[in-house]
Amino acid sequence: MDKVIITAALTGSRTTKAHNPAVPYTPQEIAEDAVACWQAGAAVVHIHVRDPQTGAPSMDLALFREVVERIRARCDVVLNLTTSGLHLEGPDVLERRLAPVTLHPDLCSLDIGSVNFRDRVFLNPPEWGEVAARRMREHGVKPEIEVFDVGHVAQALDLIARGLVEEPPYFQLCMGVPWGIPATPENLLFLRSQLPPGARWSVLGVGRAQWTMVALGILLGGHVRVGFEDNVYLERGVLAASNAQMVEKAVRLVRDLGREVASVDEARAILGLPARPLAQAAPTATP
């Protein structure tokens, strides 16, 4: 597979302006960042939202809606909305996590296995994975299956076998999250070996592992993710000026390693996504 899909994960729920002043908070900042990443060569943008005043993580559907509308008015980038809800608590967590699905994005992240995140538990019980997969299927949203360890792949295979995830399944291999699977070449090769035939996969590396995992993902025939959600440095000791600058570096790596960057249309074809008409005409980005 010669074409590489580049995903830009713009803000996440934990990275703040204290880590890098360029981290976007407001819907306008997030949308502007998304468009800039598309112009730089990203075919997919992964969206979290924040409280515009404090930067605290949020699952406010109105904020997601504003971001989606702003982006779709300007470009046809593939939209991937989070359903992680790492910070949420209370009896209605499941429905609050699934609210972004109702906006009918192209993709939604689907975290199907629990894992310790150094200082807290990222809780994804079996019920969550099944309900979320069914809800996404009902709304015509493709899950991006995020796995933080090998057991999560096994759980995904069960969902696929029961027809809850349409072919081809799409996996995001999340490497180097404390205390998930460490970001090593051996572990990436092992995770890839556990995926079902025909699966599409992308890899991310957290912190200093980001660019190593990006390079390995390109070399191994996969797709890649960059952005402030995972790392704020362009290189050792140098803060990235923007998410788009990180996309530009990923584009260079793809080309230097002998592959080509996937356009939005090519990414849709690779992932089995339907074409999406624009709300208004948008220019064509040339990575």
Residue 88, helix vs strand vs coil: coil
For residue 278, what pLDDT is reported? 53
For residue 285, what pLDDT is reported? 55
Q: Do residues 33 and 24 lie in contact, with contact meaning Cβ atoms separated by under 8 Å?
A: yes
- In the predicted model, is pLDDT for residue 284 greater than 70? no
Structure confidence by residue, pLDDT tens digits, 74-84: 999 999 999 99
Is 197 exposed, middle or buried, given 0-12, 13-18 or 19+ CB atoms closer than 10 A?
Answer: exposed
Is 19 exposed, middle or buried, given 0-12, 13-18 or 19+ CB atoms closer than 10 A?
Answer: middle
Mean pLDDT of the chain: 93
Domains of the chain: 3-271 (3.20.20.70)
Residue 208, helix vs strand vs coil: helix
Structure confidence by residue, pLDDT tens digits, 119-154: 788 889 889 999 999 999 999 999 999 999 999 999
Structure confidence by residue, pLDDT tens digits, 22-48: 999 999 999 999 999 999 999 999 999
Q: What's the CA gap between 17 and 80, in Å, rounded?
A: 22
Mean pLDDT, rounded, for 155-178: 95
For residue 118, what pLDDT is reported? 78
Q: What's the CA gap between 160 and 2, in Å, rounded?
A: 26
Q: What's the CA gap between 33 and 229, in Å, rounded?
A: 13
For residue 281, what pLDDT is reported? 38
**Identity of the amino acid at 39:** Q
- In the predicted model, is pLDDT for residue 282 greater than 70? no
Q: How many CB atoms lie within 10 A of CB 165?
A: 24
Confidence of residue 72 (pLDDT cuts 50, 70, 90): very high
pTM of the model: 0.94
